[in-house]
Amino acid sequence: MSTLFRKNMTTADRAIRAMAAVVLLALAVSDITGPLTALGCATIAIVLLVTSVSATCPLYSALGKRGTQEP
């Protein structure tokens, strides 16, 4: 398995990312923000959701962070 896609996030990290994604998606669909800000919020929310579901953060891999105890 490639080191880029090895699980490297803890459960707490995944939960925080998922909650942040929900908040950003709520901002994106509300009338509080402008269209460009809504697009930015939605884009960041999608990235957070994908990394949360996959338990893999490419930035963590690049920095050498290992959040899990798996070999």
Domain range enclosing 10: 3-58
Domain-embedded: residue 18: yes
CA distance 52 to 67: 13
Q: What is the pLDDT of residue 8?
A: 85
Mean pLDDT confidence for 62-69: 73
pLDDT per position as a tens digit, 23-59 = 999 999 998 989 999 999 999 999 999 999 998 888 8
- Dihedral of alpha carbons 59, 5, 25, 34, sign: positive
CA distance 45 to 67: 21
Domain-embedded: residue 21: yes
CA distance 60 to 54: 13
Q: What is the pLDDT of residue 23?
A: 96
Whether residue 3 has pLDDT greater than 90: no
CA distance 18 to 2: 24
Domain-embedded: residue 67: no
Domain-embedded: residue 71: no
Number of domains in the chain: 1
Angle between helices 35-54 and 11-29 (to 10 degrees): 160
pLDDT per position as a tens digit, 13-24 = 999 999 999 999
Give the pTM.
0.81
Domain-embedded: residue 63: no
